[in-house]
Chain A
Amino acid sequence: MNALPARLEAEAPRVSAAACAHCGAPVAPGAGRFCCTGCEGAAALISGLGLDAFYLRREGATADLRPVPLPPVDFAARAVPLRDGKEQRLELMVAGLTCGACVWLVEQALAAEPEVMRARASLSARRLTVVWRGPADRAEALAGIVARLGFRVAPWSAACLRAAEDAEEKALIRALGLAAFGASNVMMLSVAVWVGTDMGDATRQLMHWLAALIAMPVVLVAGMPFYRSAYAALRAGRVNMDMAVSLGVLATTAMSLSETLRDGPYTWFDGATALLALLLAGRVLDRAARRRARQACAELIALQSAEVTQLAPDGTSRRLGAEQVRPGARLLIATGERLSLDGVLEEGEALLDTAATTGESLPRAFPAGEALPAGAVNLGAAFVQRVTAAAAEGSLAAVSRLLERAEQARGRYVSIADRAARIYVPVAHAVALATFLGWWLGVGMPWQVALVPAVAALIVTCPCGLAIAVPAVQVVAVGALFRRGVLVGSPTALERLAACDVAVLDKTGTLTTGHPELLPDPARPAGALEAAAALAASSRHPLARALVAACPLPVRAAGEVVEVLGAGLMRGVERLGSAGFCGAESAGEAGPSLWYRADAASAPVVFRFADPLRPDARQAIEELRRLGLRVELLSGDTPAAVAWAAASLGIDEWRAGASPADKAARIEELRAQGRRPLMLGDGINDAAALALAHASASPAGSTDLAQAAADLVLRAEGLSGLPAAIRTARRAQAAARQNIAFSLTYNVVAVPMAVLGFVTPLLAAVVMASSSMVVILNALRTGRSA
């Protein structure tokens, strides 16, 4: 009695009744506490170590925690011997480390191994360092423990290192520390001069000399990041905000030094150092906000870069990095392996999932001799591939080169801050120069005295508010989006995103999940699903996997199943596969389907599938429209599949069968029409279009090339993050404009006062600090919930 309703319930798509006790993925009712044997094993391992507290401590379960096998990498070779080989050290990149409890679990689980001396995981860099006593061969076992807990591991690569160990950021932090020290101590002396009106001349001079002693080295050393950037811009024949900062700070210091020597009433060392400290703080925060996004991207790339198995002529095999393989080499491609290099199939037939390279949602059989694209995944049996192009000349490298070119083109994009600087900097400097000349030649003051109002003008125009106006908004907006799972990589991404007016969307893997799901069918005979799933369990074909996933009861894989490539599976008289393979008459199915026949006498049963739309796709598209973007669908898939998706999402403009070049051409066409396209895509076939678009985004689970090409990676929330990002970007843009406008207005008031010589150092300090506060407070408004 119970079996029938349970099955009906399970066959309805997306029934989430219970959650897996380990990874939190939905579990079919009655299937136990865990979604898979991997999670069950992970939970057993954790409770065996006495670390169950992990489940209480962690901040929400993530589906990322489902254990997957170790990547095919020689971990032992990556171990570094310490102390004459008595100890070994291994550095791993651990994905899925999201909270303190994960760090605790990984460290404790490794520490429980008797030979492990030290295990330390960094939550920011996702880096795990293990040191153990004994042979290097243990590396694989230790990495295996982390993998069995549900964390995906990969050797720590150069890309990870670049993202994590940012020498420039360290230099900025050091400069900030120095500037903060200088500013606070100089301010202490300056306040004494300001309030000590009854101070003797000798004491005041002592204070000025002390301030100069502190400020001079601080200004010279801590200002280096600005001087370097200004010098680079000047050599390229451009003007940037750092030039105004450098000139302002250096001129102020020089003038203060001359005032100290002349025993003048005021010096301005406090202003120079405080300005540096404030601007450096903005820089450090800005960098830290984007470092997280860069690291997340490097992490994804590290997980995808694997080694290949090369076959020598004598039949032996060895593993090596894909970049070392030369054309003509023969590679063994295991089941489930992703092709790293272009090549041809040597013999037999191969079943490849090319969703990432062409956008086709269903895998295709490739005959011997046909070119196999790098990036495709082997779904059939292992086969031998002959390499036709080395990694540096292959199709993936060509896409990478395209991305680099597009990256350079984007580097030339002039942000609103730089556009403001281009007008502002020459004007500010001209005003200062005119002030100096006016007082010196016009009024006939000594040049040292004429320099004071000129430098005062430089200080008040020194764009503290202006230089911090845009970075402050950026930090707040990027941070708010990071918390919502949207990674922002490029500094100008938000600005470009805010201006987009057309959204061009890919279908497979972007609007859809990219994994087919079984459609419910009340007419299906009882037991057929279980019987078909038992056959399907031995195949990696996406439809077979969907069948197994839809089966409410645990599936026991049937033995002795023969896979006929491109047709189906059979065991004795049982058959599961295409209509022709099962002797059924195809009724012209709309979507992909599988047929099952228990024996020659019984009637074939059909299983229909659909690549389901992401649950939030419809809402996201409606919101994009509401934000004023025109929406187009551009896919490499078949017209029928694209038409179905377009119809169910209410998109009128769609194109199917688009090659990567077609997609890029469409983006170019839109740009030529003066529109600013936003491209959303996930595949290698989208990478060119992503790079060419005015702004671009990739959903979670995209290929590494697409993520590298995109400005935004939507990690947590799926598609609904995109409209939220656009709203945040537009708010950020508005706040940046307000900040710039405010800074300019304040200059209109302050500059005449400075030119006329009314501005004292105290007044300059107050005005500078207050304008920065206003700008920062305004920026904070951007971060409020999207």
Chain B
Amino acid sequence: MNALALLVPLALGLGLLALLFFAWTLRDGQYEDPDGAAARILFDDNQETPPCPTSDSR
């Protein structure tokens, strides 16, 4: 019973945390451009740094 008193609130708390995190990602607009987000992680340069075309030697 003692284990339950700890584990059940813990499990529910974690689940609730995940739900809040999901609500934040939704409000942040992270589901608005799924295709773009998929492509964006492959850019090997950021907006800040100047692009380096020779680095793409593939």
Interface residues of A (CB under 8 A from B): 50-53, 56-57, 99-101, 103-104, 107-108, 111, 121-125, 164, 170, 173-174, 177-178, 181, 184-185, 188-189, 203, 206, 210, 214
Contacts and interface: CB of A to CB of B under 8 A. Distances in A.
Contacts of A99: 39
A111 B19 contact: no
Given A50-B51, A52-B53, A56-B58, 16 more contacts: A50-B53, A57-B56, A100-B38, A100-B39, A100-B42, A101-B39, A103-B36, A123-B39, A124-B34, A174-B26, A177-B19, A177-B26, A203-B1, A203-B4, A206-B4, A214-B12
A53 B50 CA distance: 13
Contact of B56 (A53, A124, A189): A53
Interface string B37-58: 0111011000100110101101
B12 to A, nearest CB: 6
A111 B43 CA distance: 15
Contacts of A103: 36, 39-40
23 contacts: A50-B50, A51-B53, A52-B53, A53-B53, A53-B56, A56-B58, A57-B56, A99-B39, A100-B38, A100-B39, A100-B42, A104-B39, A108-B51, A123-B33, A123-B36, A123-B39, A124-B32, A164-B32, A170-B31, A177-B19, A189-B8, A210-B8, A214-B12
A571 to B, nearest CB: 46
Contacts of A164: 32
Nearest to B5: A206
Interface string B7-41: 01001100110110011001000011111101110
Nearest to A169: B31
A170 B36 CA distance: 18
A762 B14 CA distance: 25
A185 B39 contact: no
B11 A185 contact: yes
Contacts of A210: 8, 12
A104 B50 contact: no
Contacts of A125: 32-33
A206 B56 CA distance: 60
- Please classify the interface of chain A as helix (H, G, I), strand (E, B), loop, or mixed, using the class held by over half of its residues: helix
A103 B43 CA distance: 10
Contact of B36 (A51, A124, A185): A124
A121 B11 contact: no
B23 to A, nearest CB: 7
Contacts of B36: 100, 103, 121-124
Contacts of B4: 203, 206
Contacts of B31: 170, 173
Contacts of A174: 23, 26
Contacts, number: 73
Contacts of A178: 19
Contact of A100 (B18, B23, B32, B40): B40
A125 B19 CA distance: 26
B39 A181 contact: no
Contacts of B42: 100
Contacts of B39: 99-101, 103-104, 123
B41 to A, nearest CB: 9
B33 A122 contact: yes
A123 B58 CA distance: 24
Nearest to B57: A56
Nearest to B53: A53
A203 B2 CA distance: 12
Given A123-B33, A123-B39, A173 B11 contact: no
Nearest to A100: B39
Nearest to B11: A188
B57 to A, nearest CB: 9
Closest 6 A/B residue pairs (Cβ)? A100-B39, A123-B36, A122-B33, A53-B53, A123-B35, A181-B19
Interface-central residue, B33, B38, B50, by most chain A CB under 10 Å: B33
B19 to A, nearest CB: 4
Contact of A177 (B22, B33, B38, B56): B22
Find the residue from A107, A111, A122 having the highest chain B CB count within 10 A: A122
B33 to A, nearest CB: 4
A173 B53 contact: no
A84 B23 CA distance: 32
Interface centre among A50, A53, A56, A101 (most CB of B within 10 A): A53
A726 to B, nearest CB: 27
A715 to B, nearest CB: 16
A189 B38 CA distance: 36
Contacts of B58: 56
Nearest to B39: A100
A181 B53 contact: no
A100 B43 contact: yes
A45 B50 CA distance: 16
A181 B11 CA distance: 12
Given A50-B53, A53-B56, A125-B33, A107 B23 contact: no
A185 B12 contact: yes
Contacts of A50: 50-51, 53
A344 B53 CA distance: 55
Nearest to B47: A111
Nearest to B1: A203
A609 B53 CA distance: 45
A184 B11 CA distance: 11
A174 to B, nearest CB: 6
A21 to B, nearest CB: 15
A177 B56 CA distance: 39
Contacts of A203: 1, 4
A124 B35 contact: yes
Nearest to A104: B43
A196 to B, nearest CB: 11
A184 B56 contact: no
A100 B26 CA distance: 22
Given A51-B53, A177-B22, A107 B47 contact: yes
Nearest to B44: A53
A646 B4 CA distance: 79
A135 B38 CA distance: 34
B15 A122 contact: no
A654 B3 CA distance: 81
A587 to B, nearest CB: 56
B51 A177 contact: no
A170 B12 contact: no
A203 B40 CA distance: 50
Contacts of B38: 100
Given A50-B50, A57-B56, A100-B40, A173 B26 contact: yes
A214 B34 CA distance: 30
Contacts of B56: 53, 56-57
B42 to A, nearest CB: 6
B50 to A, nearest CB: 7
